[in-house]
Amino acid sequence: MIGRVGAIALNTFREAIRQRILYLLLAFAVAMISFAQILSLLTVGSEEKIIKDFGLASIDVFGVLTSVFVGVGLVSREIERRTVYTLLAKPIHRWEFVLGKYAGLAFTLLVNSAVMALWFTLVLAVKGMYDARLWVAVLLLFFQFLLITALAVLFSCLSSPILASVMTLALYVVGHLLWSLRLLEDRVGSEAGRFLCRALYLLLPNLGNFDFKGEIVHGLAIDPVRVAAAGIYLVAYGSAVLAAACAAFQRKELQ
């Protein structure tokens, strides 16, 4: 089983690194990280804080875009090309196909994130602003990319690529605004309304668990308990999403 999943993952990685959109997004990310130096000169405030904030935000945005636009096409592209029939004709379960595709993109994102982080580290080192805690923030962003990728794979098994992209990006935005549901819960008068707020807070992906940019930018201490909790949340929520994706692809009618 591991061998079959690994073979699909390796093939997915090779296919992903051939896509032009991956290099285009990576090039834009590197350019935006470099642009942070110019932006710091044009903006009032601490140069170091601006560079760190803009650099991490660039890694965040372009990593998520890679997760969405590459991840959504993982399953749909195989169906459109009809290569999925060749794969599934072999002794491969559908859930192995989904997990292999996910693992391949996860490795692609790991390489992508490492390149962006190394370039950002170089920019900070040249400016004399290197902070080893940067790698913790990038690691947590990578955790976020893994969860977004799982959602992209799930939606790609349920709908068209365009709709899957829209829904994944919408959940990314909602996931960073989930804290507002707590405020809304305190203001809602009815018990049903408060229950709905609590239910949505638990069901929707809480991407705020992976956001450590504030600690890095403002030089605050990083709580290792929060880092561990973020990893546990990724494993628990991500596993549930991937299980749903495998179940959805198992019932999907291939035409």
3-state secondary structure of 19: coil
Residue 63 in tokens: 């990593």
Amino acid at 181: L
Please say whether the beta carbons of 84 and 34 come within 8 A. Answer: no
Residue with tokens 């196909």: 97
pLDDT tens sequence for the chain (255 residues):
567 788 888 887 887 777 777 777 778 777 877 776 676 665 655 777 888 888 888 889 888 988 888 878 777 777 666 666 566 666 677 788 888 889 988 998 998 889 888 888 888 888 788 888 888 999 999 999 999 999 999 998 888 888 888 999 999 999 998 888 888 877 877 888 888 888 888 899 999 899 888 888 777 888 889 999 999 999 999 999 999 998 888 877 665
What is the pTM for the complete model shown? 0.87
Percentage helix, strand, coil, to 5, in the chain?
Answer: 85, 0, 15
Cβ neighbours of residue 12 closer than 8 Å, sequence gap 6 or more: 74, 100, 101, 103, 104, 105, 108
